Amino acid sequence: MIIAAAYLNRAYSHIYGALGAADLKPANGQETYLIGEANLIDGVNPINNMATTSLIYVALGDSLTAGAGTARYQEILPYLLAEEFAAGDETIVLKNHSVSGAETADVIANLLSTAVDDNPDIVTLLIGVNDIHNKVSAVKFAENYEEILSRLQQGTKAKIYVINLPFIGSDKLMLPPYQALFDERTREFNEIIKDLAVKYSIKYIDLYSPTVDLFKRSGDHYSKDLFHPSALGYKVWADIIYDRINQ
């Protein structure tokens, strides 16, 4: 019993020790970018005086939206999606409202009002991984997530896409039984997200199912902390998300 308890403690400590040792550079987050139409430099002042044809895309989330694990802003998930949105000769103003370590409660307290005030045309929401790891109850997560959806729907005319929680944490980072435990909680929280998406008639994007097997293993899709994706990993996600948006 003592040996088992010692192992569980060390295996759990291993996760956060490895994350700290990787010392990833803080992801930017809270940034604005202009994508498409050669950045509309001729005739339009980028960002400050947006073209009337510009679509405003707001991305809400945590480090996975801010882009932890990448070296360049062009590699972060929302930027990759914005490039896809702009592929049809649209001009996209991306407002990335994300903070590393954010939970659903932090989105409500610190990011949501600004996102609504941006009057977006498109919103993506990817939040909840930190709720899982910080042991937020499923009941509280559901309450917070519903408040986010309700306020976005009531306060904007945006097309809202909720992205379910991908499994992250390779087998070299999450030793048994923690990979299985975090996977179970991820699936539990994803059921909550799916039910709320149905309740609010919002497009639900399943990122978990097509990536769980890949992201349970280490590889080039991970950054050096074996938790946050690499540029390749975010590209995998972006392709899946955009494909499902258009289904």
Per-residue CA distances from 103 to 62, 66, 162, 194, 238 (Å)? 7, 13, 15, 18, 22
- 107-152 pLDDT, tens per residue? 999 999 999 999 999 999 999 999 999 999 999 999 999 999 999 9
- 172-209 pLDDT, tens per residue? 999 889 899 999 999 999 999 999 999 999 999 999 99
- CATH fold group of domain 2-245: Rossmann fold (3.40.50)
Domain locations in the chain?
Answer: 2-245
Alpha helices in the chain (DSSP H): 2-22, 63-66, 77-85, 104-106, 112-117, 129-133, 138-155, 178-199, 208-215, 231-245
Confidence band (pLDDT; 50, 70, 90) for 43?
A: very low
Residue 5 has pLDDT above 60, yes or no: no
